[in-house]
Each structure stands twice: as C-alpha cells, then as structure tokens.
Amino acid sequence: MKHILHPLKFKPILKNKIWGGEKLIQKFNKKSDSKQLGESWEVSTVPGDISIVENGELQGKSLQELLEEHASDLLGEKNYERFGNNFPLLIKFIDAKQDLSIQLHPDDALAKKRHNSFGKTEMWYVMQADDDANLIVGFNQKTDKETYLKHLEDNTLTKILNFDSVKEGDTYFIEAGRVHAIGAGVLLAEIQQTSDVTYRVYDWDRVDDEGNERELHNDIAIDAFKFDMEDDFKIAYKKQENVSNPMVSCPFFTTNYIEINSEIVKKNDKDSFLIYMCVDGEVEVLTDNRTDRIAKGETLLIPAVIKDFKLKTKGAKLLEVYV
C-alpha cells in the first residue's frame, strides 16, 4: 500500500561524544541518561544512522524507505533528478560541554574520490552559549600551507586561529575546506550536507578514559584546506516577524529565519521538501486535516508534495531549510 505523505517527525538519533554534556536532555527533553550526549541527529540517511518516522500513519518507516517509495513527492522533482534516493541533508542539534577538535571537511570532489560521499558544507545557528563561550572559524591572519604546517609542527596552531565570542542567534556558514571548532558551552543547530567525513587536525592533547588520544588526520587533511577563503563566515540577517528572512543560500541548502507570533499561511513553491527546526518556543503546523507540533529542539520535515500549510503559534523561532 502506498501511503499518502504527511509532515514527518523522526525519532532523534542520539550520539554520545567525549565532549558532550546534558543540555540536549535538560533543554530539549531528549530521552537519555548520558552525561556526555553530544549530538541529536534529527534527519539523517547516513548509513547505519537512518531516521525512523515517529508520527502519523508512516510511523516506523525509515526515511530511506520513504525516499524509495515516494521519490520526487518527497524530495521535489529537481532534487530527485539531482540526488536520486539520496537525501541531501543531515540535520542536528549539538551540545559542546568541552571544546570539539579543530577540524575541517572535504568538498564534494575530494569526498567523492576518497570516501564515495558528499562533501560537507555546513552552517551553525547558536541556540544558547555560556558566558565567554566561543567558536573557532577560519584564521586570524593571512595563512598559507607552509605557515599552517609550521604552527602545527610547533604546537602553536591556536595562535593563528580565529576565535569568536558568541551569543544566541549568531550564525556561521562553514564551507568545506574551512578550519573550525565548536567551543565549550555552545548549544547549536547544525545544517549540513549528508556526510560524516571529518578531518581532525588537533584535539587539545585530550585522552579518553583509557588514556588514548583520538586519531588525527593531518596527512589527508592538508589537501582539503582552502587557505584563500574570504572571512565571510559570520552571517548577518534580518528578523522581521512572520516572514522568511534569508540567512544562507548556497548550492547545497538554503536557510531562512522565521520569528512568528501569530498564524501565517505558507505556500511551498520551491520544488523541494521543507525542514523546520524549532529553535525557540513551539509551533503548530496545520496541513489538510491534521496538526503537527514541534517545540524547541524538535524538527519537522514537510514533503515537497505538500504545497499549502499554516504555521500557528503564540511565539516561536524557526529555521526553514530547503534545497
């Protein structure tokens, strides 16, 4: 039987990390007893971590099954032509109790060649940050391969990295090839290409419970660096209420910011699915004869075939994502 697609809420895929904490549990009500919960994967088709629907008639179905059964009705026609049965995005919430490793990701060409994977261009929206919390994005000076390798060898890499203090609402666009790290005390939403390929270049000399350092990838990472990038990674955006405010638009995804305090009518004319990440408050999504709700720290995917719906709330902030 071919089900009719409806808005899809998925069971979070929870990831313990050496640097994780408890904010995803305390602030977003994720179900875990872990003291080191680092990530909640909200929408994923990464092999081994495929999202399962937890709402409506399609409950229990995997996102991969739905892609294969519904094709362009789910993705949109142009996206289906481009990606086939591969979902192009991985959607996460991340809690860094400790600093993440300094890292970067390969672009599509390098990732395809080495890992048969998409590359990883991503963006961050800061949902909460402790006092003095920061992110590392890019370099604080003009840097080339030789300069970088000298600092890496001398264990002085942090001297040439750009540290930004952050607060709620700060937004960063991290293109493949740009060095970066999430700092301790930062809780954020992450939108990225479907890829789990990370090149770790420095991990603060950290060891696990058994005294082992995590693997570094400096031998292959050097080819992934793009040292000539502009310092255009921090995103300025408007916050006009009850409309979609552009944040990031790139070949891999578009993200808008919506701050709502009433009911608004939405029309999907994008030939794409829409993903809503609730980053504050809660909102009802009304389609045909059903209502779905998402609260802060939850995500909803609206298939491309659903063209008309309403967003209704007394107060919410959303990230609206499509390809």
List the catalytic residues: 200
Which residues have a Cβ under 8 Å from the Cβ of 257 and sit 6 or more positions away? 237, 238, 239, 244, 245, 247, 317, 318, 319, 320
Query: What is the 8-class DSSP label of residue 25?
Result: H
Q: How far apart are CA 21 and CA 91, in angstroms?
A: 19
DSSP 283-317: EEEEETTEEEEEETT-EEEE-TT--EEEEEEEEEE
Q: Nearest to residue 86, comparing CAs of 104, 107, 112, 60? A: 112
Nearest to 43 by CA among 304, 268, 273, 308: 273
Q: CA-based Rg of the chain, rounded to a whole angstrom? A: 20
Cα angle: 57, vertex 63, 64; to 5 degrees? 125
CA distance 125 to 127: 6
For residue 223 the two structure tokens come to 């080819």
The secondary structure of 46-81 as a DSSP string is ETTEE-BB-SSTTTT-BHHHHHHHHTHHHH-HHHHH
Q: How many CB atoms lie within 10 A of CB 42?
A: 25
Q: Name the one residue in this structure whose structure tokens are 């955006």.
A: 237
- Rounded Cα distance, 189 and 174, in Å: 13
What one-character DSSP code corresponds to residue 183? P
